[in-house]
Structures are given as C-alpha cells and as structure tokens.
Structure 1
Amino acid sequence: MAQPPPEVVIPADGQEYLDAHNKARAEVGVGPLKWNFQLAKATSLMVRFQRDRQNCRFANLTSGKYGGNQMWATGAVSSVVLVFNVASQMWS
C-alpha cells in the first residue's frame, strides 16, 4: 500500500507572504500562487548574499535563473505592505 506524501510545512512568514499575494491576486482575477521550496531556497541565498556581501544594494537579477521584485525600506515592513507595494506597481 502506498504511503501518503509527507505534509508540506511552509514557514509561517512564507505562508503570510503567500496569503497576502494570493489575496491581492484574487482581487484582480489572477489565479493563486503555490509555495516552491526550490525558489524559496534560491531567494534566501540571494538575500543573504545581498546583506552580507553587497551592503544591501539592489541585486543585479539579469543573469539569474529567476526574476524578482526588490524594494528598499527602513525598518520592518509587513507582508501586507510589501505585497500592496508590489501589486500596486505591477497590476495598476
């Protein structure tokens, strides 16, 4: 008998961003996104590189495998504010 696939556990902050994105997408009639662990790992590596080696300057994403959105802010930014900022620029 086949075993059920293991339950996918998305990190809490990842789920928060995913939920915020999917809410914004639903408001404009765009289908939902789903979590991708490979993409999350690549993103984490890029963020750490930018923080540790580039003094948080914007990344040059033209040669990478994935695209991305970049935003500069001072202090903490909630996922809802971040998603709204990106969505308002892209989907307006």
Structure 2
Amino acid sequence: MTKIKCDEVSYRKGFVEISGNIHENHINLEVWGVHPDFDIPPGEASFNKTPEESFIGNVELELSVENANALIQELSNFVNSLEKDL
C-alpha cells in the first residue's frame, strides 16, 4: 500500500492511497480529503498523524488493469505538458 500526501493547494489537500488485489485483478484507489484549516504534518507518517476529525471525506474506486493503464497514460500526458512549461 502506498499513500501520497497532496497538500500544495490548501483547499484541495489530502492523501491518495493505492493498493492492489483487494478485489481480484483490480487496483484499489482511495482519495482522502483533509479540511483546509488543518495543516498536514510533514514526513512519512503524516497520514497516521492526521486526526480523524480532520478528514472531510473519501472515495474508493476499484480500477481494472485497463482503467489503471488509462489513468497512467493521462497522468503522464499532463505531467509531460506541465514539465514543458517549467
């Protein structure tokens, strides 16, 4: 399982959690929103240091291999586009 902290835009911060095979042949993608007034702690354990009342919602999706590859491709396209502008 991997958690990615996203806190560069204060009103759209939280965590993306990725894990595999919760459901056979699928990748579990879960996004946790954090209240904009809460400052996410630094470091690897920041998710565990975030109080439960700071989470304002989450959504969990199961991606097929085809869906996951499409997401990877779209993310890569956007990253490449942004990197050109840096």
TM over 0.5: no
Greater fraction strand: 2
**TM-score (normalizing by structure 2):** 0.28
**TM-score (normalizing by structure 1):** 0.27
